[in-house]
Amino acid sequence: MNLKGEGVRPVRPVGELMADIRRRSLENTTSTQVQPEKKAEASAISSPLRIEPTISELPVVEDRAPDPKISEEVNIPTLTERVSEAEYLATVDGRNVTTITDPSTDTEKVVASTDASMSESLPVEAEGGDFETLLTDAFSGKSPEAARELSEHLTALIEAHEKNLDALDVAVAGNPRQERTLDQFHTREMMQRAMKNSIDATLLALAAGDTVDEADLLAQQDTTRDLKKYLDKDAARLQAKFADVLPAVSTEKSEKEVVAESGVEKSELPEGPEDAAYDSLKENWKALRTVYEEQEHAYHEALRTELDIQAKSWNPLKSIPYAARKMFGFNQKLSPELEAMKADATTGAMLYRDASQALAEAKRDALTKKFADIDLGDEKVTNILARHERMLGRKLVLTRAQEQLRTMQQASSVAEHPRMQKAMEILANNKYKVMVGTVGVAMLSGAFLPVLAAMGAGVAVRKGLGGKIESLLKQASEKAGREAGVALHKERAGFATYDDTLAATEQALEKEAMAKKHPNYTNAAAFGGAVLAGGIAGGMTYESSAPTGEAMAAPEAAAPQATPETPEPVALPEVAVTPVPEAADVTPVATSEVPMTLPSQEAILPLQTPEAIPTAPLTPDMNIYAIQPGDTLWDLTKTNLTTEAGAPTDTDLMGFRNYLASNPAVLDEIGVHTGNPDIIRPGMDSIDLQKLESAYAQYTESITPQPEAAPAIEASAPEVVPASQTESVPVATEVESVSAPEAKFELPLDSAIINMVQDIETFNVEKPGFLGLFSTTELQTTSGQLFDTMKDLPLSDVEKIYTDQAFRAQVFPNGVSQEALTRWVNWIQEQNATIPAYTNLTLHDYVASVAASRNQ
Amino acid sequence: MQEDTTNQIVDLVDDSEEELNFAEEAGMVILESAITRFVLEADDEEVQALETILSAHAAAPDALPKLIETIPRFADILDEEMKGFKAQADEIL
C-alpha cells in the first residue's frame, strides 16, 4: 500500500456498489417475505427504488440456496448449520407479548407475534459487548468458527427482521397510510440484506480458512457493525410501528407506566370529565387525520393519473422537464377536478391542525384539573402549545412536499425513462452513503438551508437568516456527532407522524405537571415507556420536544437509562497528550492550540465527572456493587476506588483499562468481559469491589517503575481556547517545525499514547466521509484523477505527508490548504472520539507519538 | 398563540432541536427534489458533473457550494424548489 496506488485496495464506485446491491437482490429469490396484495400493486410503479421490493415478493422457499456466484468465487461450503429460526426464537424474551391482553382478533395475534419476534433483538442489544467480541473474533482471520457464528447470527437477525415485516404487512393490510410507511422498511430491508450478502462473502471465506485482504476485513467489519446498528434501529422503529397499529393498547400501557414509574399513587391521578373530553376529542382527531391523509393521497394519485394521460401525446424526452415542473411545481395550473381535490386536502389539513390544537388544549385542561394545586405557569404551557402547533404545521408542509416528490419520481409517464432512473440512482447512492453511516451526510439536510443562504448564489432565502446560521450549523454538527451518522438514517426511514408530535406535546405537558408535583419525577422515569409505546418514531425524542430544561426534575430518582440521554456539560478530560518537556528543541504545542471542532464534545466525552455518575446503589454488603444497566468498568472504578492520592485520575483509569485488556485472567477474576474491559460480563448482577481494588493495586504496582511519565503528562492539562483563537493556528506549520522527531522524544510516553499509535492505523481504514475533507482540486492527481486512496495510507505515509514537503507535494500536486489539513486532523479526532485516549489528540502529538513509539 | 408562521424559513432557524429536525427534513426533500429535477432537465455533461461532485464530497455542506458554483442550472432549480417549498408552506399555514 503506497501513495502510487500499488497494493491499494481499489475503492468501489458507489454506482458499482448499488449495481451490486441490485444484482444481489435479483439473485436472492428466496426471501421469506410475504407481501400483501396491495403492496404488489404499489410496487408495479416502475422506478429503481420500487423495483427491488418486488423481487422479494417471489415465492417463498424454505431453505435459502447459497448465492451461486459467491460459492463459485470463494469455493466455500454452504452454511448448513445455520441457526434455525426456531432455535433463534427460543432465546426470545417474550415479555412484550404479555402486553397484548386480548389477542382475539387476527390483527392483534399478528401484532403480538410481531412484537414477540421483534424482541429478539433485545438479548443481542443487551449483550452488545458479546456482539462486538464476536465481530472482532470473526474478522480477526484466526477464528473460522467465529466467522461462521457471526454469519449465522446475522442471518438470524435478518430473518427475524423479515418475519417482523411480514407480520406487520399483514397487520396493516388495507390501511394505505400504514402500507406506505412500511414500504420504507422494505426498501431498507433490501439494502440491509444486500449489506449482509456482501459481508457473508467475506465471512464464508474466513470460515473456510481462506486468506482475506486485511483492508477488506476491516472494511467489512465496519459494515457489519453498521448493519447491526441499522437492524437494531429498525427493530425499534418496528416496535413503534407496532404501537401505531394498536394505539389503544400502547397508550394504556404508557399511561400505566407513567404512573408506575413515577412512584405516584394511582389515586393521585383520578380520571375526571376532562379526561373523558380529551378521549372524545382524540377520536375525532384521529378521524380527521385519516381523512386528511386520504385526501392528500387521493389528490396525488389523481395527479399521477392525469399526467399519465397527458403524457401519451407528448414527446417523452421533451415532456419530461415539463412533466417534472408540472408535477412538482407549486404554482402549476391543474384541471378543475384536481384543483378541487387539492383544495379539499388543504381544508382537511386545516381541520386536522385545528383539531390537534384543540386536543392539546384539552390535554392541558385535563392536566390542570389533575394538578389543580400546582401552578404550571401559563407562559410555559403556552409555549408548549405554540410549539406543538408550529410543529404540526410543519409536518403538514413536509407531508405534502414528500407526496409531491414521490409523485414526480413514481409517475409512470417518466419513471421508466432512463433519465429518471439515473436520477433515482444518484439519489439512491446518496441514501446508501447515509445508510452506511457517513458522518458528514448526517449534516446534509440540517446544514442545507443555511449553507445555501450563506452562499447566496441566487438562493432566495438568504434574507432573514443572518447570524443564526452559525448557530444552526453548530447544532447540526453536534447532532451529527452525537448520533454518529445515524441521524439521517431515521430521517430516511420516514418523517415523524403526527401522532409523534401530539404525543410529544402531551408528554411535555405531563412532564411539566409531574415535575411540579413531584420533585423526584424525572423525564426518563415518567416517559421512557411512554415514548416507546406512544410511537415516537422518526427519531423524535422526548428531549426534542421539551421547550426548556428548566422544569427537569431533580435527578435523585433518575432511572439508569436517563444517563446517556442527559449528558452533563462538557468537561475536558484530564489527560493531555503532549510531548514531554525534555524535548526542548521541539516547538512545544499546547494541546489546546489545535482547533477542537469535534462534532460533539458531549458525545465524545470519555469521562464523566463524579457528579455525573449516578449514585451507585450498594447492597448491604458494601463490598458488593450491584450492577446497573449501562455500567462500565470505567465508571465503577472511578466511583468506587480510592487510592492514596485520592480518586483515580483519568490517566490512571486509562492505564488500568489497558492493563486489564492485556490481562484477561484479571478481567475474569473481576467479572468483566474478557474480550472488552469496558463492559460488564453479561449475566453478572454484582461485582466484588475488593477484587476490583486488588486488580487496581496490581496495576499500580506494574507501573511503579515509570513514575516520571505521569507528571509529564498530567502537567499539561489542556486549556479551553476560544474558537477564534484556535482557528488562527496553522496546524501544518506547527508540525513542520518538528524537523527530526525521532531524536526528540526520549522519555517513555504513557502507555495509552503508545496504544493509540498502534491503533491509529484503524483510521486509515475505510472511512466514507474522508473525501469530503478535501476539495476536488486538492485531490486531483497529476493524471487528472481523483486521489481517493488516502484513507488507505499506512501510518508511515500519513506521517510523511506532514513532515516531508516533497512527499506532501506528491500527494497533493495541486497544493493543499491549511484548512483541509486541519479538517483532516479534526476528522482523525472525530473518528477516534469514542476512545478516551484519542480525545484532544493533536497532530503534533500524533507525530511525536509515532516517533516515540519507534524509539521504543 | 402561533408565532411567525408567515416566514417558515426564518422561523425554522431556532435554537431548539425540533427546528433542526424540521430543517433537516425540509432540506432533504428540497435537495432530493432539486436533484431529481436537475437530472431530468440537464444534459449529460451537467449530470456527469453533478455525479462527480457528489461522489467526491460525502457531506452535502461541502458539495453544495461546488454544485452551485459550477452548475448554474442546478443553482436555479434549487432556488425554484426553495421558493416552491416556502410558497407551499405559506399556503398551508
Q: What HEC string does A675-739 produce? A: CCCCCECCCCCEEEHHHHHHHHHHHHHHCCCCCCHHHHHHCCCCCCCCHHHHHCCCHHHHHHCCC
Give the lowest-confidence range in A69-83, A491-505, A785-799, B49-63: A69-83
Say if B30 falls within a structural domain. yes
Please determine, for residue A855, whether its predicted confidence score (pLDDT) is greater than 50. yes
pLDDT band at A167 (very low <50, low <70, confident <90, very high): confident
Q: Mean pLDDT highest for which of A139-153, A275-289, A667-681, A713-727?
A: A139-153
Write down the pLDDT at residue A780. Answer: 60
Write down the pLDDT at residue A636. Answer: 66
Mean pLDDT of A610-629: 48
Please name the amino acid found at residue A347: T
Write down the pLDDT at residue A693. Answer: 78
Listed by start position, the domains of chain A span 22-62+97-245, 250-437+486-564, 445-483, 591-599+714-855, 604-710
Write down the pLDDT at residue A792. Answer: 52
Point out the residue among B16, B31, B79 whose CB comes nearest to the CB of A460. B79
- Nine cell digits for residue A4: 502510487
**Gap from A566 CA to chain B (nearest CA, Å):** 14
In chain A, which residues have their Cβ closer than 8 Å to the Cβ of B52?
776
Question: Which of A330, A422, A438, A500 has the highest number of chain B CBs within 10 A, making it the mutation to test binding with B?
Answer: A330
Write down the pLDDT at residue A506. Answer: 56
Give me the total of CB pairs closer than 8 Å, taking one residue from chain A and one from chain B: 261
pLDDT for A804-818, tens place per residue?
777 777 777 767 766
> Is the distance from CB of A349 to CB of A296 less than 8 angstroms?
yes
Distance of alpha carbon A584 from alpha carbon A834, whole angstroms: 32
- Nine cell digits for residue A80: 448448513
> Domain of B43?
16-92
Write down the pLDDT at residue A178. Answer: 67
Write down the pLDDT at residue A818. Answer: 63
Write down the pLDDT at residue A502. Answer: 52
Distance of alpha carbon A148 from alpha carbon A144, whole angstroms: 6
pLDDT greater at residue A712 or residue A843: A843
Its ipTM equals 0.82
Hey, is the C-beta of A208 within 8 angstroms of any chain B C-beta? no
Strands A624-626 and A686-688, bridge-based pairing: antiparallel
Distance of CA A252 to the CA centre of its chain: 29
User: Which chain B residue's Cα is nearest to A472?
Assistant: B13
Mean pLDDT of A305-310: 66
Query: Helix and strand tally (H, E) in chain B?
Result: 5, 0
Say if B5 falls within a structural domain. no
User: Which chain A residue's Cα is nearest to B21?
Assistant: A446
In chain A, the N- to C-terminal Cα span, in Å, equals 25
Distance of alpha carbon A369 from alpha carbon A547, whole angstroms: 22
CB within 8 Å: A471 and B29: no
Write down the pLDDT at residue A658. Answer: 67
Write down the pLDDT at residue A465. Answer: 36
Please determine, for residue A300, whether its predicted confidence score (pLDDT) is greater than 70. yes
Instruction: Report which of A579, A589, A581 is spatially closest to residue A742, judged by C-alpha positions.
Output: A579
- Nine cell digits for residue A215: 483492508
Please name the amino acid found at residue A760: I
**Burial letters A458-490, b for 16+ CB under 10 A, else e:** ebebbeebeebbeebbebbbbbbbbbbbbbbbb
Mean pLDDT of A480-485: 39
CB within 8 Å: A346 and B60: no
In chain B, which residues have their Cβ closer than 8 Å to the Cβ of A492?
28
pLDDT greater at residue B87 or residue A61: B87
pLDDT greater at residue A103 or residue A322: A322
Please determine, for residue A240, whether its predicted confidence score (pLDDT) is greater than 60. yes
Say if B2 falls within a structural domain. no
Q: What percent of chain A has pLDDT over 70?
A: 25
Say if B68 falls within a structural domain. yes
Please determine, for residue A361, whether its predicted confidence score (pLDDT) is greater than 50. yes
Rg of the Cα trace of chain A? 29
> Is the distance from CB of A91 to CB of A155 less than 8 angstroms?
no
Say if B11 falls within a structural domain. no
**Gap from B59 CA to chain A (nearest CA, Å):** 4
Write down the pLDDT at residue A384. Answer: 62
Please determine, for residue A207, whether its predicted confidence score (pLDDT) is greater than 70. yes
pLDDT band at A174 (very low <50, low <70, confident <90, very high): low
Please name the amino acid found at residue A369: K
Hey, is the C-beta of A394 within 8 angstroms of any chain B C-beta? yes
DSSP string, A427-496: HHHHHHHHHTT-TGGGGTTTTHHHHHHHH-TT-TT-TTTTTHHHHHHHHHHHHHHHHTT-HHHHHHT-PP
Give the lowest-confidence range in A99-108, A496-505, A737-746: A737-746
Distance of alpha carbon A59 from alpha carbon A19, whole angstroms: 23
DSSP secondary structure letter of residue A605 = -
- Nine cell digits for residue A497: 407522524
What lies within 8 Å, CB to CB, of A678 at 6+ separation is A129, A632, A633, A634, A657
Q: Mean pLDDT highest for which of A57-66, A77-86, A283-292, A629-638?
A: A283-292
Hey, is the C-beta of A317 within 8 angstroms of any chain B C-beta? no
Question: Which of A307, A339, A444, A766 has the highest number of chain B CBs within 10 A, making it the mutation to test binding with B?
Answer: A444
Write down the pLDDT at residue A503. Answer: 56
- Residue A130 host element (H or E): helix A128-138
- Count of domains forming chain B: 1
Bridge partners (DSSP) of residue A687 are A625
Mean pLDDT of A206-216: 78
pLDDT greater at residue A542 or residue A192: A192
Distance of alpha carbon A167 from alpha carbon B58, whole angstroms: 36
In chain B, which residues have their Cβ closer than 8 Å to the Cβ of A391?
18, 22
Among residues 6-25 of chain A, which lie with CB inside 8 Å of chain B?
13-15
pLDDT band at A336 (very low <50, low <70, confident <90, very high): confident
DSSP secondary structure letter of residue A625 = E
Distance of CA A297 to the CA centre of its chain: 30
Cα dist from A699 to A121, A654, A817, A853, whole Å: 37, 11, 45, 22
Mean pLDDT of A347-374: 70
SS3 A770: helix
Say if B6 falls within a structural domain. no
CB within 8 Å: B59 and A776: no
Write down the pLDDT at residue A775. Answer: 58
Q: Mean pLDDT highest for which of A183-187, A241-245, B39-43?
A: B39-43
> Is the distance from CB of A7 to CB of A1 less than 8 angstroms?
yes
Please determine, for residue A694, whether its predicted confidence score (pLDDT) is greater than 70. yes
Mean pLDDT in chain A?
53
Write down the pLDDT at residue B6. Answer: 33
Question: Which of B7, B8, B9 has the highest number of chain A CBs within 10 A, making it the mutation to test binding with A?
Answer: B9
CB within 8 Å: A460 and B82: yes
Distance of alpha carbon A840 from alpha carbon A576, whole angstroms: 7
pLDDT for A378-388, tens place per residue?
666 666 666 66
Among residues 524-583 of chain A, which lie with CB inside 8 Å of chain B?
539-540, 543-545, 547
Write down the pLDDT at residue B59. Answer: 54
Hey, is the C-beta of A358 within 8 angstroms of any chain B C-beta? no
In chain A, which residues have their Cβ closer than 8 Å to the Cβ of B82?
449, 452, 459-461
Q: pTM higher than 0.90, yes or no?
A: no
**Gap from A81 CA to chain B (nearest CA, Å):** 40
Distance of alpha carbon A530 from alpha carbon A548, whole angstroms: 19
pLDDT for A16-37, tens place per residue?
433 443 343 333 333 333 333 3
pLDDT greater at residue A226 or residue A490: A226
pLDDT for A746-775, tens place per residue?
334 445 444 544 444 344 333 334 444 555
pLDDT for A525-561, tens place per residue?
222 222 222 222 222 222 222 222 222 222 232 233 3
Write down the pLDDT at residue B5. Answer: 37
pLDDT greater at residue A803 or residue A235: A235
- Residue B25 host element (H or E): helix B17-41
Hey, is the C-beta of A779 within 8 angstroms of any chain B C-beta? yes
Write down the pLDDT at residue A417. Answer: 74
In chain A, which residues have their Cβ closer than 8 Å to the Cβ of B91?
330, 346
> Is the distance from CB of A181 to CB of A241 less than 8 angstroms?
yes
Q: Mean pLDDT highest for which of A80-89, A342-351, A614-623, B25-34?
A: A342-351
